[in-house]
Chains A and B, each alone.
Chain A
Amino acid sequence: GAVVSQHPSRVICKSGTSVKIECRSLDFQATTMFWYRQFPKQSLMLMATSNEGSKATYEQGVEKDKFLINHASLTLSTLTVTSAHPEDSSFYICSARDSGKQYFGPGTRLTVT
């Protein structure tokens, strides 16, 4: 299947700082990428759909000014968590579709202290 990478895999940051997470499709081009968040023992929650060359579409209840998404190329989308707080600590996973199937990156575990 298609490969999606994410960087970094783990990040610890101080409260009030910003963190950028990169998501890349390695062997295919993705006009659309998806960002999910997952809290322990809970299911995936779709945060936003990232569209190459246009604005992201955010799910209801997700603060677009806090979670900035940029999809600058057909293989790269970034999620920036701005002014992070401890409650933003979570597992962030990106995903992309190739030939009708959706593949997930390995995830980024964010800890805000």
Chain B
Amino acid sequence: QKEVEQNSGPLSVPEGAIASLNCTYSDRGSQSFFWYRQYSGKSPELIMSIYSNGDKEDGRFTAQLNKASQYVSLLIRDSQPSDSATYLCAAWLSGGYNKLIFGAGTRLAVHP
């Protein structure tokens, strides 16, 4: 069973703090990883992709990948109330599967 696991939260952080979201994946063959943000009642929005070990930064977001530990994380700096949403971690399964598998999502609440 190929899985992506996330803590469901809620993760509560004060405005201006760093929010740290984590996920692990089971398929060692996965090479592409994604973070999506989903507001309540809306569809997922792609915010970060990462393919190589290390860090990738885009504005206030930093994605981190450690393939040896099968671990992906997302850091949100200077968190804002508008960042309050569910964050979905996803891994692309190749090798005949050719689909994204999603974690259950972590709910982030940023309070003023």
Residues in chain A within 8 A of chain B (CB atoms): 1, 32, 34, 43-44, 46, 49, 91, 93, 100-107
Contact = CB atoms under 8 A, between A and B. Distances in A.
Contacts, number: 40
9 contacts: A43-B104, A44-B88, A44-B102, A46-B100, A49-B99, A91-B43, A102-B100, A104-B45, A107-B42
Contact of A101 (B42, B43, B46, B102): B46
Interface of B: 32, 34, 36, 42-46, 49, 88, 90, 92, 98-100, 102-105
**Majority SS at the chain B contact face:** strand
Given A49-B98, A101-B49, A102-B34, A43 B43 contact: no
B10 to A, nearest CB: 12
B43 A1 contact: no
Q: Which 10 A-B pairs have the closest CB atoms?
A: A107-B43, A104-B43, A43-B104, A93-B43, A104-B44, A44-B102, A106-B43, A102-B100, A101-B49, A43-B102
